[in-house]
Amino acid sequence: MTRAIILIMDSLGIGASDDAPRYGDQGANTLGHIAEACEKGEADRKGLRQGPLRLPNLARWGMGKALESSSGYKATGLHCDEKKLEGAYGYAVEQSRGKDTPSGHWELAGVPVPFDWGVFPRTVPCFPQSLVDELVERCQLPGILGNCHASGTEIIEQYGQEHIDSGKPILYTSADSVLQIAAHEEHFGLERLYQLSSIAKELVDKLNITRVIARPFINAPSSAGNAAFQRTSNRRDLTTAPIAETLLDKLVAAGGTVVSVGKIADIFAHRGISKTVKGKDNMDLFDRLLEETESNGDQSLIFVNFVDFDAVFGHRRDIPGYAAALEAFDARLPELEALLKEDDLVLISADHGCDPSWPGSDHTREHVPVLFYGPNVKSADLGQRNSFADMGQTLAQHLQLAPLEQGKSCWE
């Protein structure tokens, strides 16, 4: 029985790439800086976590070795004796021009993006007036709010009540090729938000913008502290389709099964997907992963994106929260290990960085970890992989597919 599982720890970069200065990210290191803050006692939070970062299972899989190889940083909580290492480990350099989610995922699946996506300028307003006018007219809106680069959580706090009072949706962007639309699930309506986002995607296609993200929110419960609103799990990503056939397309065409857990189906524009499973947060997504691992058979790929690392902690620059989420994820890996069959191959990686110690709230240009684990995987140093596509090529080989057009197998 041949199966593969991909776990994307969304935004878990492990050191700045050589081209990071082009993006203003020289020195970024998502995992390294989180571990460093924990060791200094700067990531303690009462009732959440304290002390050095402890990731014993990821350490067994080789995460500490990958971090050290990529950036030179040795994290105490990721140390593992050579004789106890159980995974094949290394790091990958992105060839795609952007540091965005679709580019990272597509390249991992064998399709690097060799051009720059369109982005909106760092001006206020940031969206072309013609785009705003057409969106307002077609969707019969009273206008829009925001129209700037912003943190998603901050902008709904700033404009949430005005949005409810006026009926104007909140539009904003980031350094990525994206238009984000936030609206209240009840006052504006979830389906109306999805329809608005669909029309917006149609309009931004001519600007070469790769994603429109629908960001629904609700009034925050009294236990949420000072926050008046909170985003819900009903996010929807409308993404441009991959520019070539991916590992997912090829597996489905060969009669295999691809199971999307989380936002994977959205990232691939629902192409090459056999089944879609959603989850409300990282732990719920891990539950769904375990269910699919138990039920799926031969020639299947389970592809999971653990979005909280990025959306809840990375972009919000929450180091203690990110550290606690890493420790919670690590604690559940033995549950997955217990379900693996003899020929299963598991990959842990990321799509980009989002260093919570870095200025601003955008992604960071970093290497990503390459960790392969399975009953038949022997510990090995895979070194530097010159493209994320090496991971897709390795999985294609494992699933007995024809070679992908890009990438070199990590076993070669």
What is the location of CATH 3.30.70.1250 in the chain?
Answer: 129-239
Average pLDDT over residues 176-198: 97
Helix runs in 88-189, H state only: 101-108, 129-139, 152-166
Confidence of residue 1 (pLDDT cuts 50, 70, 90): low
Q: Give the model's pLDDT for residue 224.
A: 65
The proportion of the chain whose per-residue pLDDT surpasses 90, expressed as a percent, equals 96
The answer to whether 20 touches 366, Cβ cutoff 8 Å, is yes
Is the pLDDT confidence value at 161 over 80? yes
Average pLDDT over residues 333-359: 98
Here the tokens at position 80 are 């593992």
Query: What is the number of other CB atoms lying within 10 angstroms of the CB of residue 116?
Result: 11
Here the tokens at position 410 are 């990590």
* Fold classification of 129-239 (topology level): Alpha-Beta Plaits (3.30.70)
CATH number attached to the domain at 3-113+243-398: 3.40.720.10
What burial letters (b/e) apply to 8-23, b meaning 16+ CB within 10 Å? bbbbbbbbbbeebeeb
The answer to whether 231 touches 217, Cβ cutoff 8 Å, is yes
Go through the chain and tell me how many residues it has: 412
Q: Give the model's pLDDT for residue 226.
A: 77
pTM for the model stands at: 0.94
Q: Give the model's pLDDT for residue 126.
A: 98
Average pLDDT over residues 357-382: 97
The answer to whether 214 touches 236, Cβ cutoff 8 Å, is yes
Query: What is the number of other CB atoms lying within 10 angstroms of the CB of residue 86?
Result: 18
Is the pLDDT confidence value at 221 over 90? no
